Amino acid sequence: MNQQENIPDEGEVILIDKPLTWTSFDVANKLKRACKFKKIGHAGTLDPLATGLLILCTGKKTKQIDSFQAQEKEYTGTLVLGKTTPSIDLESDFDAEYPVGHITPEVLENARRQLTGHIEQIPPLFSAIKIDGVRAYKLARRGEEAEIKKRPVEIKLFEIDATHFPSIDFRIICSKGTYIRSMVRDFGELAGSGAYMSKLCRTRIGDFELKDAWELTAFIHQKRVALNLEVDE
């Protein structure tokens, strides 16, 4: 019998801690090849420079992807005031510097408060949003300008810790469709400066938590053992 036929048709929901620099597609593609899944998809993209919880569904469970994507998300991370990059993270080089000497705890609290609740945000140009059928990040990497419309999101919780200023640690609980890099960009502007994101980790999607996720290579190892496939020692 073909090993692939041993995989239950019902499929499964897999929680993976996405490795740094991997795209969400990279993880799905790796699992499909290594574990002989016929059909697999992920429930919510994470940027390459983000880590954390990635939900993947196989087989018939892929029908649940939309419901997982609709659930609230929780993130922790770090933003740094005083500099910006085109991608709002460290995927691109610094393009400008801004003052931070005027930023008081009151300024930070005002920025935090304005970005809490029901707000509108403009997604980053370096994103997978389609503009006239073309992914925005492709336009950005070609140096082309593009207009991205505001979209409503809900920020249910936005906590900040400025102990290591100008680095600001944060925790955010938000609705579907929220771009954390947009939050970082807008926070910097509201503080009268600029900002980029130096670290991001998704810790929860609905009731699924990062603490219950597999490390990628560990999941592949145990799955290949279960399927009687060759494993790396």
Q: Which residues are catalytic?
A: 47
Q: What is the 3-state secondary structure (H, E, C) of 130-142?
A: EECCEEHHHHHHC
Burial class (CB in 10 A: 0-12, 13-18, 19+), 207: exposed
* CA–CA separation, 184 and 80 (whole Å): 9
Q: In Å, how far are 15, 34, 113 from 31, measured between CA atoms? A: 12, 5, 41
User: Which of 74, 7, 66 lies closest to 37 in space, CA to CA?
Assistant: 7
Q: Are the C-beta atoms of residues 109 and 115 closer than 8 Å to each other?
A: no
In angstroms, rounded to a whole number, what is the distance separating the alpha carbons of residues 33 and 29? 6
Ranges of beta strands (E only) in the chain are: 13-18, 40-42, 51-58, 73-81, 83-84, 96-97, 117-121, 130-131, 134-135, 151-161, 167-174, 195-205, 208-209, 214-215
Tokens found for residue 53? 């919880």
